[in-house]
Amino acid sequence: MNKENTFVINLGGSLIMPDEIDVDFLKKFRDLIVNQIENHNKKFVFITGGGATARKYQSSAEEVSESISDEDKDWLGIHSTRLNAQLIRTIFRKYAHPKINTNPYDLEDFYSCDNPIMIAAGWKPGFSTDYDTALISKFLGIKKIINLSNISYIYNKDPKKYSDAEIVEEMSWYEFCAMVGDKWTPGMHAPFDPVAAKFANKEDLEVVTMSGENLQNLENYLNNEKFEGSVICNG
């Protein structure tokens, strides 16, 4: 895999499945990616999140039984990411490698892949697919990650709770880790999960968080043009 023209995209489940499967988004996303492959010789690695599917399974399990562990909830989330990964692989069938990766330490198919798209999903409990994405990026030697979700920027505090929350266009991993803490809980809402953030800081990875609802903005980034989003890096 030529890492010079390969982009790692952490594809948030909130885009694939905000409540129901977002067919309109998937159509536009597919058109954009296919254009980048066929006309710009780009390659992609997608790691899919669980979205509403994961949270619905987790909350339903808790309603039925009070003894659901965090590990059980994580497994429900992991299998939701794998279902979403199968959906993405299916809609990119012509371009995607037929095998979905579920272990970032086993990337043999990625190293020798001729397909322009590789797809990965959740691995094991203890973190979200953000961490899987960071591991895959490290092992592939790709220092930049696109964190595509339903938010356009990272704020210095929760904008849903605080009216004076401010956009942060660039921040260090130290600042980000101080903001999100160091503990992962299943279903946690964070721009990048704490376990993944700690690892990204250690490995000097750069994460660009942007909204998948603005695909023109994603295209701008892929074409090395001006874009809107928040960059987390070590400077």
Tell me the per-residue pLDDT of 190-202, one tens digit each, with 9 for 90 and over. 788 899 999 999 9
The contacts of residue 180 (CB under 8 Å, 6+ apart) are 190, 191, 192, 193, 194, 197
pTM of the model: 0.93
Please tell me the predicted confidence (pLDDT) of residue 88: 98
Q: Which of 115, 109, 50 is nearest to 84 (CA)?
A: 50
Q: Residue 115's domain is classified under what CATH number?
A: 3.40.1160.10
Report mean pLDDT in 10-residue bins for the chain, 235 residues: 85 93 97 97 96 92 92 95 98 96 92 91 93 95 95 86 90 91 77 91 96 95 95 89
Please tell me the predicted confidence (pLDDT) of residue 179: 87
Q: Phi-psi region for residue 120, left (φ > 0), alpha (ψ -120 to 50) or beta?
A: beta
| Bridge partners, residue 146, by sequence | 9, 208
Please tell me the predicted confidence (pLDDT) of residue 141: 94
Tally of domains in the chain = 1
Spell out where the chain has E strands: 6-11, 43-48, 96-101, 117-120, 144-149, 154-155, 167-168, 170-172, 206-211, 230-233
* Interval 120-148: pLDDT, tens: 999 999 889 999 999 999 999 999 999 99
Please tell me the predicted confidence (pLDDT) of residue 28: 98
The range of the structural domain enclosing residue 226 comes to 3-233
Distance from C-alpha of 98 to C-alpha of 96, rounded to nearest angstrom: 6
